[in-house]
Amino acid sequence: LRGGGVIALCLPLGDGSAACASVQAVLPISSVAGLPMNSKISHLPLRLRGGGLPFRYEDSWKDITVRMPIEDAIKGRDIVYKLTPSSLELGLKGQAPSVSGELWDMVKTDDSIWEIETHPKLGRCVTVQLVKAKGAKWDYLLKSEDVPPDLTITHQC
């Protein structure tokens, strides 16, 4: 699989039949085509992660950039931003936060910043650059995004 897909799993049962299920798999870029972690993969497009969420993020070894789209009328004073070494809350005053929860790993709060900018794909947005305490890729931005796959048996073979 290149960058994810559907995997069919079949497990043998004691009576000689098998139970099968299909699972949506999203593979980290480092596992594409079995390449080692330090391989240069320049031909693959940069993907903004967080599809289906009210924010997007990009992960690198030293930092993670979070982008939350906003309307033109929003000013800096309308932004709610609370960062601890292990959690992030980002949103607009008077509304439920768009990003709220425990981060995948620790960040350096004094080195992390936020600003309002215009992104070529997302338009006007709040951009938060979180500097990681340890240099490593994250599986997700928030621990709450780590939802186990649905392994419900869809049919028996």
d(CA 7, CA 5): 7
pLDDT at 37: 42
pLDDT tens column, 7-46 = 555 555 555 555 555 444 444 433 333 334 443 333 333 3
Burial letters for 102-113: b for 16+ Cβ neighbours within 10 Å, e otherwise?
Answer: ebbbebeeeebe
* Angle (nearest 5°) at CA 7 between 1 and 102: 85
At 79, list the tokens. 């932004």
What is the pTM (predicted TM-score) of this model? Answer: 0.63
**Structure token digits, residue 117:** 């900018």
The pLDDT assigned to 16 comes to 58
Q: Is it the case that residue 154 has pLDDT exceeding 60?
A: yes
pLDDT digits (tens, 9 = 90+) for 42-88: 333 334 555 567 889 999 999 999 999 999 999 999 999 999 999 99
